[in-house]
Amino acid sequence: MKKLLLGNEALAQGAIDAGISGVYGYPGTPSTEIVEYIQRSKTAIEQGIHSKWSANEKTAMEAALGMSYAGKRVMTVMKHVGLNVAADVFMNMSVSGINGGFVVVVADDPSMHSSQNEQDSRYYGKFAMVPMLEPSNQQETYEITKYAFDLSEKLRLPVLLRMVTRLSHSRAGILTGGSNKQNSLHLPENPTQFQLIPMHARSRYKHLVELQSDLLEISEKSGFNELIKGSDTSIGIIASGIAFNYLMENFEDTECPYPILKISQYPLPKKAIKHLFDTCDKILVLEDGYPFIEEMISDFLGENRKVIGRLSGDVPRVGELNPDNIAKALGFDVVINESLPKVVSGRPPELCVGCSHKDLFDVINELKKESQSQQVFGDIGCSALGVLSPFKTVNTLIEMGASITMAKGAADAGIHPAIAIIGDSTFTHSGMTGLLDCIIEKTPITVIISDNSAIAMTGAQDSSASGRLVDICRGLGVEEEHLKLLNPLNKNFQENIDFVRQEINYQGVSVIISERPCVQLPKAKKDKLNEMKKASIN
């Protein structure tokens, strides 16, 4: 019987069946359901597979590397921008190599459904010189995940598995079967492998470079890359990952007359691409994300117009692919109609009824009336919605943790009041170190940690900050008299204004913890939080 699974869930089941001993990650759309599936899986629980959330993507990937060092199979999971946070360990562990099979899963978000950019993780894979996999559908996701662990152990390298939103968040019936036992503990055979002092690192890097021909050979032979014959050689099509589905959608009733190279494994299979170059007049590249393949196989000066795709303008340069923009690239007679009846208004996302961020924004907006120079530096998560109407409280939103550090730089430049608003989980993810910078310099900023006791935007996962914020701030050196708690309720509106104004006027670091749990938290979690609170008071 087929199981009904999201692409993300098929991947998670594949990892469990591949015999992982742990998964490490930080929530982020569109990757979140992978770790959540393992957290809920009966098999994973019975087998004691580690699946607790980490504080951020870097700590997650490093912990995963430790598990691989111990000889166990392990997976680390994040959204595309999370790999920026983990890039330090990612770039260096391709040099060290791994011990137990190690798969890095990154879910990209073309069209930025829930992200601030649409960066393409394949550049990271190439940068680190590791094998990459890019499944095209849910069934292949399950199979390619199992294969990824074997490949990782064969090459003793981490393997990057790239997902995209539409595959992560689409369900299909999946056939699963066959599972491996977990590896037993075994330390690396080569004692210097994980000691990247320059003299060892040089030999490891040389080894990585030498391995590249093996990577290519494996990719050339991989069953996940497929050259499909076609008699009309006016165009040869290269379609990677999910783009292959959109391409085939356009030939559901007829056979595609053009030769197709389906790519789901990198490095790019050279022989198959050469075959297309030799036999076809033009090469159309279809890939979701950046023009990664197109750029690699195009000529730099653009004099030879043989390769077409996003760079040539035949496929839109930005945004995700779909069956329609590919139909257009194929020259089919389609009209892409995005016009709606005039009566339809936009409906952007908004904060929930009763959300604690709302009451905080009301207070900050009231203070803006008193001081027009006030700037509010925002951060990732639900509080980012403070950028939108009706609040328009937040002036900047860049990446995890930037609220505190940007407020610092702005304060250094002379802006006052400089207010940072950051969620509790974002604070423990990337805010603490920036706060330390401010404390050392006694920078005049007001940091408001809007603590809703959850990683709310991604579905109210447990926050590493819960019950620990006061202790963390105290430990970092926030002055006791400028470490304040605020209760964001409408009935406290006037009182809260006076309270925040007082801290803004302080010429040093103030931290205000504005605390009220997320309204979306299930009752069981709220009860657990209350118990934690009681325990910390005692």
Binding site for another protein (CB under 8 A): 2, 4, 6, 29-30, 32-33, 113-114, 166-167, 169-173, 242, 245-246, 248-249, 252, 322-324, 327, 334, 336-341, 343-352, 382, 385, 389-390, 457-459
Q: Which is nearer to another protein, 243 or 504 (CB)?
A: 243
Both structure tokens of 505: 């006027």
Q: Which is nearer to another protein, 294 or 320 (CB)?
A: 320
CB of 489 to another protein, least distance (A): 21
CA 261 to each of CA 31, 220, 227, 257, 529: distance values in angstroms, whole numbers, following the listed order: 27, 12, 4, 13, 53
- Euclidean distance between CA atoms 95 and 321, whole angstroms: 34
Q: Are 74 and 41 in contact (CB under 8 A)?
A: no
Q: Are 25 and 60 in contact (CB under 8 A)?
A: yes
In this structure, are strands 74-79 and 102-108 parallel, antiparallel, or unpaired? parallel
Q: Which is nearer to another protein, 460 or 473 (CB)?
A: 460
CB of 55 to another protein, least distance (A): 21
Q: List the 102-108 sheet strands across, edge first.
A: 22-25, 74-79, 102-108, 159-164, 132-133, 265-266
Q: Which is nearer to another protein, 256 or 296 (CB)?
A: 256
Both structure tokens of 431: 């805010």
CB of 496 to another protein, least distance (A): 24
Q: Which is nearer to another protein, 18 or 167 (CB)?
A: 167
CB of 305 to another protein, least distance (A): 28
CB of 519 to another protein, least distance (A): 11
- Euclidean distance between CA atoms 86 and 104, whole angstroms: 11
DSSP 471-525: HHHHHHT--GGGEEEE---GGGHHHHHHHHHHHHTSSS-EEEEEE---TTS-HHH
CB of 271 to another protein, least distance (A): 26
Rounded to 5 degrees, what are φ and ψ at 94? -75, -25
Rounded to 5 degrees, what are φ and ψ at 223? -70, -15
| 335: number of Cβ within 10 Å | 6
Q: Which is nearer to another protein, 172 or 228 (CB)?
A: 172
Torsion of CA 287, 293, 294, 300, to 10 degrees: 160
CB of 12 to another protein, least distance (A): 15
Q: Which is nearer to another protein, 340 or 537 (CB)?
A: 340
Give the three-state DSSP class for 104.
Answer: strand
Q: Which is nearer to another protein, 138 or 193 (CB)?
A: 138
DSSP 30: T
CB of 424 to another protein, least distance (A): 18
Q: Which is nearer to another protein, 5 or 98 (CB)?
A: 5
Q: Are 41 and 16 in contact (CB under 8 A)?
A: yes
Give the three-state DSSP class for 375.
Answer: strand
Radius of gyration of the chain (CA): 25
CB of 341 to another protein, least distance (A): 5
